Amino acid sequence: MAERVSFAPIDFKTRFPALDGIRALAVTMVFLDHFGGGSHGGRLLQFFNLFRERLWTGVDLFFVLSGFLITGILYDTRHDSHFFKRFFARRSVRIFPVFYLVAAVLLALTPVFRYQWHWQHLAFLLYMGNWFANGHFWLYDIQSLNHPAARASIGHFWSLCVEEQFYLLWPPLVWLVRDRVKLLWLSGGICVATLALRYAWCLTQPTPGLWVIRTLPFRMDTLLLGGMLALLLRGPRADAVQRACLPLFLASLAVAAVIFSLPSQDGDGTLMLTLGLSSTALASTGLIGMTLVPGSRTFRFFYAKPLRVLGKYSYGFYIFHMIYGWAWIQLLVKVTAWTHSLLFGGLVALPLNFLTNFVLAKLSYDYFEVRFLRWKRHFEYDSELSTHKHAFTTK
């Protein structure tokens, strides 16, 4: 008799509800990393700032989650009659509309703010901008000649580039290999090779951090660890895998905390860029695995409605939150000057910033993005058409 698998099949037309809470955590971490700074306001703010400077790892949580979901979809539909067409069409209607809407708005505002475009900015429209901007960092900003505060920041788009490049490379491999165990070995081998590549790069480059953090060859393990979790949960030992997620999370988080607390690991620290990134990805993998267990404390926490609501709109929130980040920083500076308190300035500017971006993301999703998401019904997978269930196996 086949071993019982408690990881229940998920309906294509539903979401992993608690994983929206994971999205909310990730986007909040990134937001606080970008806007929650302030090391001049006493010991409390200095301690918070030390913690806040590590919250960029929210992007890693996004990467692991993307690897988990995408690999699951690819594996479950690997025998689909229109595998590539349906996968890329469904990804496109989710990702492209709001991204290119932002590009169109910035182009429309160019005569108003006299934005200074460079031809290399076009690479971002092809999700290759990170390769150009890492060599010329100024490409991550679009300067305004007449309103400096209207400077548009597209620096956070590097992560979208990394994910889109992953979407191009991983589906053909899943389609070619198909076997779950072989895919696990392939993923594990790539993870080891990625760690070795990061270490070699750190040994040979004076400032390796930008390339290590912002390009796909150095981040494949972060995405594929999520993919390995998806594959393991589709096997005969899914129960054991889920039980292992809690100790994996705690152990990896402890290792990451130690590495990230070392003063020598700020910026381009080799330990942080090698084992630090690996342990962060493993901790994210463990956290996602814990969240998938219905009724667990982790599930109940991330299933909380406020987190699920924020998670639903997290993609748009992430895209919008940094576009006019410089203007929000100027507001913080002015409120701080008026009140003579960085703490009070933050308490005013930070929630206003967060709320504004949430409202924009909600409006974008409800009145713009959802119109494109409805097109998914034209690209239903074979298994969705027949059973509306993922093709989980016990092999």
Q: 142: which strand partners?
A: 152
Q: Which of 80, 66, 75, 79 is nearest to 9 (CA)?
A: 75
Q: Which of 265, 267, 242 is nearest to 255 (CA)?
A: 265
* CB-CB contact of 391 with 11 (8 Å): no
**pTM (predicted TM-score):** 0.92
How would you class 87 by CB atoms within 10 Å of its CB: exposed for 0-12, middle for 13-18, buried for 19 or more? buried
> What pLDDT, in 10s, does the model give residues 258-302?
998 887 655 568 999 999 999 999 999 999 999 998 888 999 999
* C-alpha to C-alpha distance for 330 and 311, rounded to whole angstroms: 28
Each domain of the chain, given as residue ranges in start order, spans 24-386
Mapped onto helix, strand or coil, the DSSP state of residue 151 is coil
Tokens 């429209």 belong to which residue? Answer: 125
* C-alpha to C-alpha distance for 215 and 199, rounded to whole angstroms: 15
Q: How many CB atoms lie within 10 A of CB 79?
A: 12
* CB-CB contact of 51 with 341 (8 Å): no
Q: How many helices (H) and strands (E) does the chain have?
A: 21, 2
* C-alpha to C-alpha distance for 268 and 98, rounded to whole angstroms: 33
Task: Quote the strand ranges of 115-158, DSSP E.
Answer: 141-142, 152-153
Cα Rg, the chain, nearest whole Å: 21
Check whether 256 has a pLDDT greater than 70. yes
Check whether 99 has a pLDDT greater than 50. yes
Between 340 and 208, the more confident residue is 208
Q: How confident is the model at residue 391 (pLDDT cuts 50, 70, 90)?
A: very low
pLDDT confidence of residue 4: 44
> What pLDDT, in 10s, does the model give residues 12-66?
445 688 999 999 999 999 999 998 765 455 666 666 777 788 899 999 999 999 9
DSSP track, 197-232 = HHHHHHHH-SS-HHHHHHSGGGTHHHHHHHHHHHHH
